[in-house]
Amino acid sequence: MNGYIPILVLGAIAFAFAVFSVAISGLTGPKRYNRARLDSYECGIEPTPQPVGGGRFPVKYFITAMLFIVFDIEIIFLFPYAVAFDSLGLFGMVEMMLFILAIFVVYAYVWRRGGLEWD
């Protein structure tokens, strides 16, 4: 049980810091509200307008997020491979190249279909 005490302490510190940050910014921060401040927060970019009358909903953010996740997962598989690079030898090299190629094909499809264009 003693081994877990540092983790518990770390968790308590993280929790305290989160509560402290929220509380202190509410107490000391300036309160100058304008329209932009009240909008929903989307990575600092102008928020996407909502469709009027139930038209087509823009899925730009969705596609970007999905493409990012695919890269994320690719990296997750590449890291352990990089650690075991020497012991896996040529086999690992070829298999990893095939894996990267398969993902590259997906990106070629997305690129040709205009998935990388913002507008």
Tokens matching residue 74: 């690719």
Q: How far is the CB of 92 from another protein (least distance, A)?
A: 6
The smaller minimum CB distance to another protein, of residues 11 and 80, is found at 80
Tokens matching residue 68: 């990012």
Tokens matching residue 116: 């990388």
Q: How far is the CB of 84 from another protein (least distance, A)?
A: 5
Residues that bind another protein (CB under 8 A): 55-56, 59, 83-84, 86-89, 91-92, 102, 105-106, 108-109, 111-113
The smaller minimum CB distance to another protein, of residues 11 and 58, is found at 58
The span from the CA of 100 to the CA of 92, in Å, is: 12
Q: How far is the CB of 86 from another protein (least distance, A)?
A: 7
The smaller minimum CB distance to another protein, of residues 15 and 111, is found at 111
Q: How far is the CB of 31 from another protein (least distance, A)?
A: 42
What contacts 96, CB < 8 A, 6 or more positions away?
78, 81
60, 118 contact by CB (below 8 A) = yes
Q: At 11, which amino acid appears?
A: G
